[in-house]
Homo-oligomer: A and B are copies of this chain.
Amino acid sequence: MASTFGHLFRITTWGESHGGGVGVVVDGCPPRLKLSAADIQPDLDRRRPGQSKIVTPRKESDTVHIVSGISENGLTLGTPISMWVRNEDQRSEAYNEMKDKFRPSHADFTYFAKYGIRAWQGGGRASARETVGRVAAGAIAKKILREKFGVEVLAYVKQVQKIIGAVNPETVKLKEVESNIVRCPDAQAAAKMIRLIEKMRAEGNTVGGIIEGVAHGVPAGWGEPVFDKLEADLAKAMLSLPACKGFESGDGFGGILLTGREHNDLIRAKAGKVFTTTNRSGGIQGGISNGETVSFRTAFKPVATVMHEQDTVDESFHNTTLKGRGRHDPCVLPRAVPMVEAMTALVLVDHALRQRAQCG
């Protein structure tokens, strides 16, 4: 069940980094939505390797094929939409040494411990390549949210190691995010981030950082008590992404330095519309959206593959060392931005449908 996500808008991803490809089945999509590859490819291109000098140079066109679920005149049928992306640039030889050595802080050892077997080429299912299916499905979710519910989902790089961008989550636009290759809307910070990532690559080292996600236009009332709170489902969605190690909603960890009097978002009404004068809650109270901008932050650890010899063990549990080879990202954040957007949109569209189901 672990490769399926969502209750009403439900996706099932499949595929390894090496093998026939990766894909996703989207079930529960509302019918009669205009949909073609052109709606999906742009987000895949934002996730694609080789898109800029600061990501892995691995060459994958990542062209999406929609294999089912669309009528001859380009409308969703309401039945499962199957999408498939071929694996193209596989160089197993780069992974030969990993055949019987576990890469530190990768999932090699844990998959082996769990299953007694692992796809050693490229990380198998733990590879970020698995997220192709999520991003493709997320593009559909974003389209539904935009067209049917007036909701715009967006993510951007907020921080790379110690470099922090100044971004206003209430007003940030896609155009600003896409204005540079690191996807940080603060141009000055972006320039520094890019330099840092290039330096890291040159040193065979890696860095992590923070991606902020926002959703503009979410109406009050999405999210379900008590276990499927909006922020609970967002947290799960984010922590299910490769390399993600932290999630905070609204003020999150920072909020604990304030007292209750300081932290509360006071409520006002104007012309019959309720709003809060601050948004420390990140648009969610009691697990349900309150009509303000939904915002959260996620921590992505530095990429585990470094081009330096590191201590590890082999499959016979003997001590050895391993040095990263192959073509890797010195920082996952630029490519993780569309992944964060996709997972956000998948959570939101599912809750939009759930709200419509129960409350009409």
Contacts and interface: CB of A to CB of B under 8 A. Distances in A.
A245 B231 contact: yes
A222 B246 CA distance: 19
A353 B233 CA distance: 21
Contacts of A51: none
A281 interface: yes
A259 interface: yes
Interface in A18-38: 19-23, 25, 27-32
Contact size range, A: 35 or more
Contact of A161 (B22, B159, B240, B257): B257
B225 A359 contact: no
A260 B226 contact: no
Contacts of A240: 226-229, 232, 287
Interface in A290-313: 290-291, 299-306, 308, 310-313
Given A14-B68, A304-B260, A255 B208 contact: yes
B220 A113 contact: yes
A91 interface: no
A139 interface: no
A206 B258 CA distance: 9
Given A116-B359, A126-B286, 8 more contacts: A1-B28, A106-B285, A110-B221, A110-B284, A114-B288, A235-B235, A245-B250, A356-B356
28 contacts: A1-B8, A4-B12, A12-B25, A14-B68, A14-B80, A19-B68, A20-B66, A20-B82, A67-B84, A76-B117, A79-B225, A107-B225, A107-B286, A109-B285, A110-B289, A113-B288, A114-B355, A126-B225, A126-B287, A207-B259, A227-B236, A232-B238, A232-B240, A235-B238, A245-B282, A247-B247, A267-B311, A267-B312
